[in-house]
Amino acid sequence: MGRALKISKRGPEQGVTYPTSTTVNQPAAAVNIDIGFPNFGSLTNPVFNTPVQTLDSAQYLGVVGGFQQGQVSATNPIILATVNVALTAGGSSGSGTGRIIRQKGSHKFLVARASDINDEDIVAGNSYMVVSPGTTNWAQFGAGTNVAQGDIFTATINGSAAVVGTGTVWDVGICVLANTGSPAAGFMSIEYSVGDSAAVYASYITNKWVRDWNGMTYGNYNNGNFGLNIQSSENFYVTNFFTDEGTVTWSGAEIINSADAQNGSLQLAQIANLTS
């Protein structure tokens, strides 16, 4: 499938700091990891998109998945996915806004449905991601001790009034890409635009590329397996979060008098994203 999708995450505490009193060493603050790509302002002799330069120096090519709160911004967005998690204990989460946790295959992802569930509504057998630890005793649900935001577990008991706390979770499961804005259970979609186009959905996405569904088929394509990726006449584009206008030069393309020659450029695609 090529290089897996970059996933933004929160790193551990980094080293130590020294208070002004110099009497106590303290762990330095945790840092954000993989929140974006090098922006044009940090590159040597960067080449912007053409014919109209719509990307500024603080922006970049490429897209990032992720789920952790507190690190998403207009400078470093994450992919906005629509997901419908098939629940192990039966039913589904319903179609709604989701977060990509990690990539499982060329069109298959571990995702979370971004809808808060109180701990008393947890169902044994389903998988969840902790959104807010609160006062919940997570060990009794099979999540272990020292639970933090973003931890994933499979519930071993049903929630009830007897185990109620203030913690919340999101449903978690594996979904595969579908060509619709209202995916069925076990499926998901990622919307993008090209040159102010209407909604288009990805059949494949990585850090740098997105493909449409033109001529795209999959052998035995379902939530239970990776499926054979049969690529025929699909269109593909360079991904970014900031604009769907203009083109970029293909690496290795022939350039004559500072202009693209034959097969020298690719259209930009703007991926649906979250900035907060």
Residue 49 — pLDDT band, cuts 50, 70, 90? confident
Locate the domains of the chain by residue range: 34-77+191-274
- How far apart, in Å, are the Cα atoms of 172 and each of 5, 118, 258? 18, 14, 49
Distances 199 to 16, 85, 275 between C-alpha atoms, Å: 48, 22, 19
112 forms beta bridges with: 99, 172
Q: Is residue 110 very low, low, confident or very high in pLDDT (cuts 50, 70, 90)?
A: very high
Distance CA 243, CA 270 (A): 5
Stronger pLDDT, 214 or 43, i.e. the higher one: 43
Question: 213 burial class (0-12, 13-18, 19+ CB within 10 angstroms)?
Answer: middle
- pLDDT, residue 131, reads 93
Gap between the Cα atoms of 260 and 86, Å rounded: 47
Question: Tokens 């789920």 sit at which residue?
Answer: 67
Summarize the confidence of residues 144-173 as an average pLDDT: 92
Distance in angstroms (rounded) separating the CA atoms of residues 93 and 101 = 16
Most distant CA pair in the chain: distance in Å? 75
Residue 276: is its pLDDT beyond 80?
Answer: yes
| CB atoms closer than 10 angstroms to residue 173 | 26
Sole residue written with tokens 């929160």: 10
What single DSSP character describes residue 196? S
Distance separating alpha carbons of residues 59 and 127, to the nearest angstrom: 36
Task: Report pLDDT digits (tens) over 197-228.
Answer: 788 999 889 888 898 887 665 544 544 444 45
Q: Which residue has the higher pLDDT, 3 or 69?
A: 3
Asked whether the predicted pLDDT for residue 164 surpasses 90, the reply is no
Who wins on pLDDT, 58 or 50?
58
Would the pLDDT of 70 be above 50? yes
pLDDT tens string 231-251: 556 788 999 999 998 888 776
Q: What amino acid is encoded at 59 in this protein?
A: Q
Cross-strand pairs, 78: 274
pLDDT digits (tens, 9 = 90+) for 18-35: 555 555 555 566 677 888
Query: Of 216, 187, 219, 215, nearest to 204 (Cα)?
Result: 216
Q: Rounding to the nearest 10 degrees, give the CA dihedral for residues 139, 140, 143, 147.
A: -40
pLDDT at 18: 55
Looking at residue 28, the DSSP 8-state letter turns out to be P
pLDDT (average), residues 248-259? 61
Percentage of residues in the chain having pLDDT higher than 70 = 79
Residue 162: strand, helix, or coil: helix
Q: Is the pLDDT of residue 169 over 90?
A: yes
